[in-house]
Amino acid sequence: MSIRWLALAATVWFYPGPGKNTPDLEEEKAIAALLKLGPGAVRRDPTRGGHAVEVDLREVGVKDADLQWIRPLKFLRKLELRMNEITDAGLPALEGLSRLEELDLGCTEVVGPGLKHLRGLGRLRFLGLKVTAIKEGGLAHVRRLEQLRKLTLGENELTDKDFQALAGMPLEELSLSDNTLTDASLDTIVSMPNLRALELVDCRGMTGKGFDKLKSMKGLVRLQLYGSAIGFPEMRAIVGIASLEEIDLSCTEVGDEAVALLKRLPGLKSLDLSGDGISDEGLTHLAALGGLTRLNLEGTYVTDAGMERLSGLKGLVDLDLSDNRIGDASLVHLKGLSNLRSLNLSSTRITNAGLGQLRTLTGLRKLRIDQTLVTQEGVRDLRKWLPGLLISEHGEPLPGDEDWVGPPGP
């Protein structure tokens, strides 16, 4: 037999046959049904024969019976089911989704037992269970998801005993916001060797003694503590986490004395102190954080007198000074921040004269000036110098904001 015939035979032998790599009738029927539930809810992948790879059914009134249309989507990688009337009874429909990597069941009526049907999802890396009132040992089923790397459990009234079921998981990101957890749960957190990002927003049952345990977490990079009971004692423990690069301390009890401790974190890049009792004295301590790229001081007690202390933070890219008692005199000290891309001056005493100080910031891309003393004349003058600058004059969102929906249609 000639080489030509051998090659032809091999081609015939391995040819999969017509339609094998495209959706079958059952999948097409399911896609049509899902599009009736949520127009635009299904995203197909043309490189995979047009199979459905993502489904977004957020807040469209999905019920357990509707999940039958998910079952045929064997190539599905992402499934968004937040804010629907789904219960544990509907979860068996998800059992065969072996390629699924992301699943959000937040704000549903799932309470726990049905999570056993997720155990076969061997590729699942993200699971959202925020506001689901997980009970009845539901987290024990989550524990069996060996590839899971990101888990959100906010607002579930979890107890320390509930949470203990997750000890030792290889999670990289964990959100436990607004739960009734205490220092005992920090032992469980410390047992997670790969954790890089931790969110403990509004977790008021944790103390400095508990946070001291986190010092052993050498890979923790991001810590969000918004609204938690964080003051000077807790900060003494937190600054012991030498690997931290991002920390959110907004709306806590942190003041100038606690801010002074932050100089023990030389690798800090992002710092949120909005809504805290920070004054000009606190800005003195921030001057030591030369690596900062993002700083939020919204709603603090800083004034023109303290702004000079920020002039040395040359790496700042994003700076929020909104809702502070600052005026034109403050902007003189921002002229040297050549890396600045986003600046929020809303609800301050800035006038046209002060706005002119920004003309040297040629890299500035976003500026917010709602509820200031700036007029249209001042805006026009600044745009002559910075023609590409996006300016929010009345609180409207800008590209890149979470609530940005794009320009209006024709």
- pLDDT tens, residue by residue, 272-291: 999 999 999 999 999 899 99
| pLDDT at residue 136, as a whole number | 65
Is the pLDDT score of 17 beyond 70?
A: no
pLDDT of residue 403: 55
125-138 pLDDT tens trace: 999 999 998 876 89
What's the CATH fold of domain 81-92+100-392? 3.80.10
**What is the band of 10 on the pLDDT scale with cuts at 50, 70, 90?**
very low
Q: How confident is the model at residue 406 (pLDDT cuts 50, 70, 90)?
A: low
Q: Please check the confidence at residue 377 and state whether its pLDDT lies above 50.
A: yes
CA dihedral sign, ordered 144, 149, 154, 159: positive
Mean pLDDT, rounded, for 61-79 = 97
**Predicted pLDDT at 210:** 86
* Integer angstrom CA distances of residue 13 from 4, 21, 94: 14, 16, 34
For residue 79, the surrounding DSSP H or E stretch is strand 78-80
Asked whether residue 399 carries a pLDDT value surpassing 50, the answer given is yes
Q: How does pLDDT run across 206-255, given as a tens digit for each residue? A: 888 888 888 889 899 999 999 988 889 889 999 999 999 999 999 999 99
Q: What pLDDT is stored for residue 2 in this prediction?
A: 46
Residues with Cβ within 8 Å of 247's Cβ and at least 6 positions away in sequence, in order, are: 222, 223, 224, 225, 238, 265, 268, 270, 271, 272
Domain limits of the chain?
81-92+100-392
The pTM score is 0.88
Q: Which of 353, 306, 308, 352 is nearest to 325 (CA)?
A: 306
Residue 12 has pLDDT above 60, yes or no: no
Percent above pLDDT 70 for the chain: 93
Residues 129-151 have a mean pLDDT of: 92
- Predicted confidence band of residue 319 (pLDDT cuts 50, 70, 90): very high
Whether the per-residue pLDDT at 50 is higher than 90: the answer is: yes
